[in-house]
Amino acid sequence: MRLGVNIDHVATIREARKTFEPSPLFAALIAQQAGADQITLHLREDRRHIQDRDLELIKSSVHIPINLEMAPTEEMRDIALKLVPHRVTLVPERREEITTEGGLDVVKLSSYLKEFIRPIREADIEVSLFVEPEEEQIEVSKEVGANAVELHTGRYANLYNEHDMEGAMRELQRLARAGSVAKLLGLRVYAGHGLTYWNVSMLVEHLKDVVEELNVGHSIVSNALIWGMERAVKEFLKLIGR
């Protein structure tokens, strides 16, 4: 499995003081050096962590792929078309949320998304949709022109963290089924949200044949505060069999 390291929360700490440190660019370069396969970052509408300048600096400095998470808005699409990251991941966004809650409702937004995605694909940018592991969401993701889906692992992570192992196992089965449907449709399959050094091993064990990449932010950045970014990335890579 590949690992995308989400560095948003390095910027969260910087924005707590509106200063210049810590540097998300520096974090991205060390993550790359430690073996990360991709840098993931979310430019939110309210710019609460990553700023436009971070995006430009990181895009021009790292050589591994950039996965830009963004809400499906005109403003964000203009930025993506200018920056041309390797991939755009469309996520739902609400100002009052602490982090992305739930997947994008691709079924409800299907006609909007179809038009929204077309120019991004034409610019040779891969389009991934962050979705709940539900068959209908995945089928419509294919219909609207996505190349990939990122399955939302938040529910699995919560159940695991609450020590509800039966519930966590059921959720893994749901993720595996959803991933298999996506693969059959020819979509690439990624996963992420809420994954930690503790809950990731069980997920990898059950989803390694279906999911090709994980995107992990909060837990890696949290442990980077204690261990440093290099060790935090290397320890996570070991847990996913790398």
Q: Does residue 192 bind ligand PXP (CB under 6 A)?
A: yes
Query: Which residue lies nearer to ligand PXP by CB, 89 or 223?
Result: 89
| Structure tokens, 171 | 């959720």
Nearer to ligand PXP, 30 or 69 (CB): 69
Strands (E), 91-178: 126-131, 148-152
Binding status of residue 22 toward ligand PXP by CB under 6 A: no
User: Distances in Å between the alpha carbon of 92 and those of 97, 116, 146, 184, 239?
Assistant: 10, 14, 15, 25, 29
Torsion of CA 71, 168, 12, 102, to 10 degrees: 20
Near ligand PXP by CB under 6 A, which window of 166-174, 180-188, 197-205, 210-218? 210-218
Q: Output the smallest distance, CB 10 to ligand PXP, in A.
A: 12
DSSP character for 5? E
What are the residue numbers of the active site? 42, 69, 193
Please write down the HEC assignment for all residues of 94-118: CCCCCCCCCCCCCCCCHHHHHHHHH
Nearest to 171 by CA among 132, 137, 142, 198: 132
State residue 67 phi and psi, 5-degree precision.
-110, 105
Among 22, 24, 72, 194, binds ligand PXP (CB under 6 A): 194
CA 30 to chain centre: 19
CB of residue 224 vs ligand PXP: minimum separation in angstroms? Answer: 12
* Closest approach of ligand PXP to the CB of residue 157, in Å: 7
* Residue 171 contacts ligand PXP per CB under 6 A: no
The 90-129 site mask, x for binding ligand PXP (CB under 6 A), equals -x-------xx-----------------------------
Task: Report the residue closest to ligand PXP, judged by CB.
Answer: 217
The three-state secondary structure class of 93 is coil
Nearer to ligand PXP, 133 or 192 (CB): 192
Q: Which residues bind ligand PXP (CB under 6 A)?
A: 6, 8, 42, 69, 89, 91, 99-100, 130, 150, 192-195, 215-219
